[in-house]
Amino acid sequence: MYKIDPVTHKATWLGVMFVERGGLLPQPGGSLTVWHDHGIGQQDMFHVWTFAGAADPFALMLPDAIGR
Amino acid sequence: MMGHLARSWPWNLPVSPEKWRDVTTVQSVTRWTVRGAADCPRARGAGRAGWSSQVKIRPRPEQWTARIWCRNRSTLGCAAEDVEVHRMLTRNAIGQHGSRSTTLLAVIGGVALMFSACGTSSSRAATRTTSSTASSTNDSERNDTTTSRAAVRRHHAAARTTTTTSAGHATTTTIAEHRLATHKVAAPATSGGAPASAGGAPQPSAPVPPVPPTSSGGHGPGGALAAGVYCNGWIHRQTPNSSMRVHDTTGGRLPSAADCANARAFYDRVLAANAKYADLNVAIANHFKPGHDAPMRRRRTTCIGATRDSWTRIIRRGSCTRSTRSPTRPPGSG
Output phi, psi for B259, to 5 deg. Answer: -60, -45
- The residue of chain B with its CA nearest to that of A24 is B334
C-alpha to C-alpha distance for A15 and B270, rounded to whole angstroms: 9
Maximum average pLDDT range among B94-98, B290-294, B302-306: B290-294
Q: Please choose, from the candidates B164, B59, B178, the residue with its C-alpha nearest in 3D space to the C-alpha of residue B125.
A: B178
Segment B60-81 mean pLDDT: 41
Model confidence band, residue B199 (pLDDT cutoffs 50, 70, 90): very low
**CB-CB under 8 Å, A68 with B317:** no
Q: What are the tens digits of pLDDT across the range B20-51?
A: 333 333 333 333 333 334 444 444 444 445 54
**B265, B256 Cβ separation under 8 angstroms:** no
Where is pLDDT greater, at A18 or B204? A18
Domain ranges of chain B: 2-193, 217-255, 260-334
Q: What are the tens digits of pLDDT across the range B78-121?
A: 222 322 223 333 333 333 333 332 222 222 222 222 222 333 23
Segment B14-24 mean pLDDT: 38
Does pTM top 0.80 for this prediction?
no
Model confidence band, residue A56 (pLDDT cutoffs 50, 70, 90): very high
CB-defined contacts A:B, below 8 A: 207
Per-residue model confidence (pLDDT) at position B292: 61
Q: Which residue pairs, CB below 8 angstroms and at least 24 apart, start in B293-302?
A: B293/A1, B293/A17, B293/A38, B293/A45, B293/A61, B293/B320, B293/B322, B294/A38, B294/A39, B294/A42, B294/B244, B295/A38, B295/A39, B295/A42, B295/B75, B295/B76, B295/B79
Selected residues 1-60 of chain A with any CB under 8 Å from a CB in chain B: 1-6, 11, 13, 16-45, 48, 50, 55-60
B10 CB-side CA count, 13 A: 27
- Percent of chain B scoring above 90 in pLDDT: 10
**B108, B151 Cβ separation under 8 angstroms:** yes
**Contact residues on chain B for A39, CB-CB shorter than 8 A:** 80, 172, 243, 245, 294-295
Per-residue model confidence (pLDDT) at position B293: 64
Segment B120-135 mean pLDDT: 29
Per-residue model confidence (pLDDT) at position A40: 79
Domain ranges of chain A: 2-66
Measured over the CA atoms of residue B251, residue B252, residue B253 and residue B255, the dihedral's sign is positive
Per-residue model confidence (pLDDT) at position B255: 94
Q: Please choose, from the candidates B68, B70, B73, B33, the residue with its C-alpha nearest in 3D space to the C-alpha of residue B49.
A: B73
In DSSP terms, B61 is beta-bridged to: none
Complex ipTM value: 0.96
